Structure 1
Amino acid sequence: MSEDLQLAARARAASVVELASELIRRPSRGGIDDYGPVLGVLEEWLSARGLPHRRLHDDAGLLVGLLVEIRGGRPGSWWTLDACVDTAPYGDESAWSFPPACGDVADGWLRGRGSADSKLAASMFCHIAADLAPHTETLHGGLAVLLDVDEHTGGFGGARAYLADESAVRPAGVMIGYPGMDEVVVGGRGLWRATLTVHAPSGHSGSSKTVVGAISRAAHLVRLLDAAELPGVDAASGFPLPPKLSVTTFHGGEGFSVIPDRCDLNIDVRTTPGFGAHDAETLVRKIAAELDADLPGPRPTEVTPVVAWPPFRLAEDEQPAAALLGAAAGAGLTVRAKTAGPSNIGNLLAGEGIPGVTAGFGVPYEGLHGIDERAHLAELPTVYAVYHRAVLDLLDS
């Protein structure tokens, strides 16, 4: 990596931390706080530097993000840096050793909710956009910076609004600024989720007539689901993880004297290229039919699909993974490419036809989504220089 980039990154670090601190001081807990103040800080900063930006709204008109666009002077692909500026809730504030919205620096750590996930990355990406702006005539394609405020809700409204925006250029790939320096996530299992509704005759728990209630039928269904045979790792596909099925909620009944006539379960199936959403649904419906045959009820068990995201995986020589891993190696870092078990926004993007997604390269951190969230700043110049180098390489062709 060039010495000029490293020197520029060190010079930028104080400004990156200053903006991130201001963002942390504006609470933006997903589904709880008003996002106007935190986006207002970003808008003021961007406007002061003449960087083109605009707000993103969902179909209901709700504010879900901010988009910065740096258009190059030569033809080429567009690439996106993505960081959320909404956060997880604080949890038990009395358990924190510092105020969750303090945004200060102590012993080399930036402290407060969002410092790790992902207000420091949001600040860093805005600064990289500012670095590129004076040199647009030499860039191919363009760079978008997506600042999502509907990420921790699970709605990913900013990403959805960005992809639905007809005036925005669809990117060839996205780099998501989650923290952690050891790994770059280049893939993830997909998911298929459904609600299962089990029916049974109702009755009085004290009646002399025996009734197999919905809870008993649902418990049998859980045993069948837990015993389901799923395929292992498909070596031929190159995908390193197997599918997984979990029962995640179980609701039914009230009080003591009534045997309920309904019980609802939530099912989460993590999918792979060799075992996709269709396979998951086929398996779960087969198991539901087996329950109805073993313990017949007044109505068939209902299977209601909720959401499906495809799995995705980039090879290390595919973009933008190649640019990011190459820049990290150039900075002397040993960074592992990882296919994640949990799904992430990369699955949503893959479902929208954008398979080129990375996530998970940033500064070391502690307390993400927990108490005393903080981000270590000593590594910030290196992380900044790696992203800057990767973006320049992507926009150079």
Structure 2
Amino acid sequence: MTAHGGPVTAPADVIDLAQRLIRCPSRAGIDGYGPVLGVLEDWLAGRGLPYRRLHGDSGDTVGLLVEVAGGRPGPWWALDACVDTAPYGDEAAWSFAPDSGEVVDGWLRGRGAADSKLAAAMFCGIAAELHGRAGALHGGLAVLLDVDEHTGGFGGARAYLADRRAARPAGVMIGYPGFDEVVVGGRGLWRASIAVHAASGHSGSRRSTPGAVSRAAHLVRLLEEADLPGADGEFPLPPKLTVTSCHGGQGFSVVPDVCELGVDIRTTPAFDARAAEQLVREAVAELDAKVSVPRPATITPVASWPPYRLGTDRQPAAALLDAAAVEGLIVRPKTAGPSNIGNLLAGEGIPATAGFGVRYEGLHGVDERACLEDLPAVHAVYRRAVLSLLGRSS
């Protein structure tokens, strides 16, 4: 099959690029990103594709942006896949080298095979297919290749949206794996650090009051016993509260005067960031009312993203689901429990899908691998969806 952008990139070429990416370790916060970006730049330059590096606030490289401009007016759409990865974990637990990049029994092996170097290679292939004879396209296609995703900073997406030279995308399709579902929504989050205070003293003193750790433990119970609403309306997931960290004390003989808690609340349209913060403030007020303390507990919000959910008739979800149906696939829309780049984009008013790709195993764990049997169908779905959004049939 050919199109105005030229022949479809052969699966072997996509796999070869993905293998080379896997063989360049790019663990977030551990490895330098120069080698993995160099692989991409060589591949893009060899096909004459226009690209440039994106830089974060501190000047560090946070991604590559490929831009294929159409010859007719229209909105721009984006494909996004990360090429930084999770760490390896216990390498002794792997049955193959985390950076092997080998294909065994139809599975591509290595860290990043599933999340998301295979998708990055596939998206580069789609850009190559459209480039060169793109005059018939309406608007344009951007391909964002992140190296600041697994840090949680999402610097590539932030730099892309802040780049005045780049057209603002009308929607984004993120290449996370998973063959049976398209993620069209996700819970948001509200996170805070809480410092619980108390009077310090000697642990062996005859007179003592609850220390900061004891008071923090009571606050944990108040938070975990708080009433949260259930799922509401068209948003299928309820909110969730988790105390994720507890730090306090410096020895056995000292009653600690401060203990810090980390709280993660996953939000929904019916229980948003304001409701989450109010719940925490009420629990802290109840704690402080019980015992007189030198200082009330202090709450420091550290992050907040909105929940989002696209209707299946809204782009780019509709184009992706329609393309899957044309290719004979049964793909269900899904609202995810964890947050993702889609939440960041939702906060910017940009609709996104996050998660349609090949089957996988070991994502963020041991023996990560991606099923190459699924690659032709996944490639065809994304290609068809992009052409539909850009005003062309396949």
- Normalising by structure 1, what TM-score? 0.96
Residue 8 of structure 1 and its aligned partner are, at CA, apart by 5.9
What is residue 268 of structure 1 aligned with on the other side? 264
Residue 392 of structure 1 and its aligned partner are, at CA, apart by 0.2
1:295 to 283, 291, 295: 291
User: Equivalent residue of 1:172, what SS?
Assistant: strand
2:288 is aligned with 1:314: no
Residue 231 of structure 1 and its aligned partner are, at CA, apart by 1.6
CA distance in 1, matches of 2:171, 2:353: 8
What is residue 343 of structure 2 aligned with on the other side? 347
> Does the Cα contact within 8 Å between 1:87 and 1:114 map onto a contact in 2?
yes
Q: Deviations over 1:293-316 (max 9, x none)?
A: 022311111010001000111000
User: Equivalent residue of 2:343, what SS?
Assistant: helix
What is residue 116 of structure 1 aligned with on the other side? 114
What is residue 48 of structure 2 aligned with on the other side? 50
> Does the Cα contact within 8 Å between 2:7 and 2:129 map onto a contact in 1?
no
2:239 is aligned with 1:243: yes
What is residue 254 of structure 2 aligned with on the other side? 258
User: Equivalent residue of 2:131, what SS?
Assistant: helix
Residue 4 of structure 1 and its aligned partner are, at CA, apart by 5.8
**Residues 150-299 of structure 1: pairs in structure 2 closer than 5 A:** 150-235=148-233, 238-299=234-295
User: Equivalent residue of 1:180, what SS?
Assistant: coil
User: Equivalent residue of 2:304, what SS?
Assistant: strand
2:54 is aligned with 1:63: no
What is residue 91 of structure 2 aligned with on the other side? 93
CA distance in 2, matches of 1:28, 1:164: 24
Residue 276 of structure 1 and its aligned partner are, at CA, apart by 1.0
User: Equivalent residue of 2:169, what SS?
Assistant: coil
- One-letter amino acid of the structure 2 residue matched with residue 324 of structure 1: L
Unaligned runs of 5+ in 2: none
> Does the Cα contact within 8 Å between 1:56 and 1:67 map onto a contact in 2?
yes
CA distance in 2, matches of 1:200, 1:390: 58
User: Equivalent residue of 1:21, what SS?
Assistant: helix
1:380 to 354, 375, 380: 375
- One-letter amino acid of the structure 1 residue matched with residue 171 of structure 2: G
The number of residues matched between the two structures is 390
- One-letter amino acid of the structure 1 residue matched with residue 31 of structure 2: D
- One-letter amino acid of the structure 1 residue matched with residue 87 of structure 2: P
CA distance in 2, matches of 1:135, 1:181: 31
2:369 is aligned with 1:371: no
4+ residue segments displaced more than 2 Å: none
- One-letter amino acid of the structure 1 residue matched with residue 248 of structure 2: G
- One-letter amino acid of the structure 2 residue matched with residue 141 of structure 1: G
User: Equivalent residue of 2:132, what SS?
Assistant: helix
CA distance in 2, matches of 1:134, 1:385: 20
**Residues 124-163 of structure 1: pairs in structure 2 closer than 5 A:** 124-163=122-161
What is residue 389 of structure 1 aligned with on the other side? 384
Residue 12 of structure 1 and its aligned partner are, at CA, apart by 1.2
CA distance in 2, matches of 1:241, 1:105: 37
User: Equivalent residue of 2:338, what SS?
Assistant: coil
What is residue 359 of structure 1 aligned with on the other side? 354
Residue 211 of structure 1 and its aligned partner are, at CA, apart by 2.0
Residue 272 of structure 1 and its aligned partner are, at CA, apart by 1.0
Q: Deviations over 1:339-367 (max 9, x none)?
A: 1111111001111221x100111111111
- One-letter amino acid of the structure 2 residue matched with residue 180 of structure 1: G
User: Equivalent residue of 1:284, what SS?
Assistant: helix
CA distance in 2, matches of 1:239, 1:135: 42
Q: Deviations over 1:116-141 (max 9, x none)?
A: 10000000000000001133111001
> Does the Cα contact within 8 Å between 2:91 and 2:98 map onto a contact in 1?
yes
- One-letter amino acid of the structure 1 residue matched with residue 290 of structure 2: D
CA distance in 1, matches of 2:352, 2:109: 28
User: Equivalent residue of 1:333, what SS?
Assistant: coil
User: Equivalent residue of 2:133, what SS?
Assistant: helix
CA distance in 2, matches of 1:112, 1:280: 39
Aligned-pair Cα RMSD in Å: 1.3
CA distance in 2, matches of 1:211, 1:278: 33
What is residue 22 of structure 2 aligned with on the other side? 24
> Does the Cα contact within 8 Å between 1:217 and 1:295 map onto a contact in 2?
no
CA distance in 1, matches of 2:143, 2:126: 9
CA distance in 2, matches of 1:8, 1:110: 24
Residue 274 of structure 1 and its aligned partner are, at CA, apart by 1.6
What is residue 300 of structure 2 aligned with on the other side? 304
- One-letter amino acid of the structure 1 residue matched with residue 237 of structure 2: L
User: Equivalent residue of 1:249, what SS?
Assistant: strand
- One-letter amino acid of the structure 1 residue matched with residue 143 of structure 2: V
Residue 203 of structure 1 and its aligned partner are, at CA, apart by 1.0
Q: Deviations over 1:254-301 (max 9, x none)?
A: 221111000000011111112111111111111111100022311111
- Normalising by structure 2, what TM-score? 0.97
CA distance in 1, matches of 2:7, 2:381: 12
- One-letter amino acid of the structure 1 residue matched with residue 220 of structure 2: V
CA distance in 2, matches of 1:352, 1:295: 43
Residue 25 of structure 1 and its aligned partner are, at CA, apart by 0.6
- One-letter amino acid of the structure 1 residue matched with residue 226 of structure 2: A
Unaligned runs of 5+ in 1: none
CA distance in 2, matches of 1:329, 1:258: 65
